[in-house]
Amino acid sequence: MSQKNLEDISLRFSKLQNELNDLIKARQQLETQYQENKIVKEEFAKLDESSTVFKLIGPVLVPQDFNEADINVKKRIEFIENEIKKVEGNIQDHQKNLETTRDELITLRTQQTQT
Amino acid sequence: MSQQKVDLTTLPPQQIFEFKRQIQQEVQHLQSSIQALNTAKAKFNECIANIDRVSKSPENDILTPLTSSLYVPGKIVDNDKFLVDVGTGYYVEKNVEDAKEFYKLRIDKLNQDSEQLTQMIQEKINIMKSVDNVLKQKIQQEEKSRQQTTQA
């Protein structure tokens, strides 16, 4: 009976591990996007309304209003910051979950070796 | 990550070995990052060279790539206007000076980053060396105690 339990828990453990890895990947991707957007924001800070800005949409460069582009980038940074917070909270929850599952696993294993 | 200090000498050799492997992986990762930075740097340098070539050349005939395998002859109307990719799909019109300045700043930033990375790699390598030493000592100790037990 404890054999079944052990299997269940180790399955849950590896599932949690995979999910945590995915979350960490997502977090890294967000960080890359965040950094790139920050560079663009810094660049825009040096420009003014007289600058000509284009946005690459597919293979085509589309003229953009500078103010609009500036607001867009700022909004995107805000969005990414929120996403990062969300993912980070998720990661923490997962880590806690993983730890408790691991503890359960260890106690079960020691119990088994003892009997 | 669990941030706790562990005295290496108290660990069994397998764990020390595992730890060493981890650091090795980190070093490899950092080295590939440096390579990526160098590629980016080369690309920006090429951009500057191209700006110079276009702005200083008396000719203004070029072949414009429509796709990577299709070109049309074209003329440069204004060789003091460049569209610079500033990231996330945005392009900004810049004159020769500003465009070059832009790329120079990017290269400076990359140089700073790669300097930091080199430092980090050096630190990791130093750690690895000391871990190696501990490992050697451990193995010697174990051998000694094994010899003693066989003798006894």
pLDDT at A48 (0 to 100): 86
Least confident piece of the model among A2-6, A75-79, A110-114 = A2-6
pLDDT at B21 over 70: yes
Determine phi and psi for B63, rounding to 5 degrees: -105, 120
In a domain, B32, yes or no: yes
Cβ contact A55–B91 (<8 Å) = yes
pLDDT at B4 (0 to 100): 62
ipTM surpassing 0.90, yes or no?
A: no
In a domain, B147, yes or no: no
pLDDT at B76 over 80: yes
Integer CA distances (angstroms), B11 to A88, A111, B17, B52, in order: 32, 25, 10, 60
- Residue, of A2 and B115, whose pLDDT is higher: B115
B→A interface, C-beta within 8 Å: 83, 85-93, 102
Q: What percent of chain B has a predicted confidence (pLDDT) above 90?
A: 72
Q: Please tell me which of the candidates B87, B89, B93 has its beta carbon nearest to residue A51.
A: B93
In a domain, A82, yes or no: yes
Residue from A28, A29, A39 to probe the interface with B (highest B Cβ count within 10 Å):
A39
Domain span at residue A1 reads 1-110
Q: CA–CA separation, B86 vs B110, rounded Å?
A: 15
Cβ contact A40–B93 (<8 Å) = no
Q: In this predicted model, what pLDDT tens digit does every residue of A35-76 receive, in sequence order?
A: 999 999 999 999 988 899 999 999 899 999 999 999 999 999
In a domain, B152, yes or no: no
In a domain, B83, yes or no: yes
In a domain, A115, yes or no: no
In a domain, A75, yes or no: yes
Cβ contact B93–A76 (<8 Å) = no
- C-alpha torsion A65→B66→B87→A36, nearest 10: 140
CATH of the domain at A105: 1.10.287.370
In a domain, B61, yes or no: yes
In a domain, A68, yes or no: yes
Overall number of domains in chain B = 1
pLDDT at B2 over 50: no
In a domain, B15, yes or no: no
Show the CA angle centred on residue B57, arms to residues B55 and B63, nearest 5°: 90
In a domain, B116, yes or no: yes
In a domain, A56, yes or no: yes
Residue pairs between chains A and B whose CB atoms are closer than 8 Å: 45
In a domain, A21, yes or no: yes
pTM listed for this prediction: 0.78
What is the nearest CA distance from B85 to chain A, expressed in angstroms? 9
Domain span at residue B73 reads 20-142
| Nearest residue in A to B81, CA atom | A52
Q: Which residues of chain B have a CB within 8 Å of the CB of A55?
A: 89-91
Overall number of domains in chain A = 1
pLDDT at B152 over 70: no
Q: Is B67 helix (H, G, I), strand (E, B) or coil?
A: strand
CATH of the domain at B125: 1.10.287.370
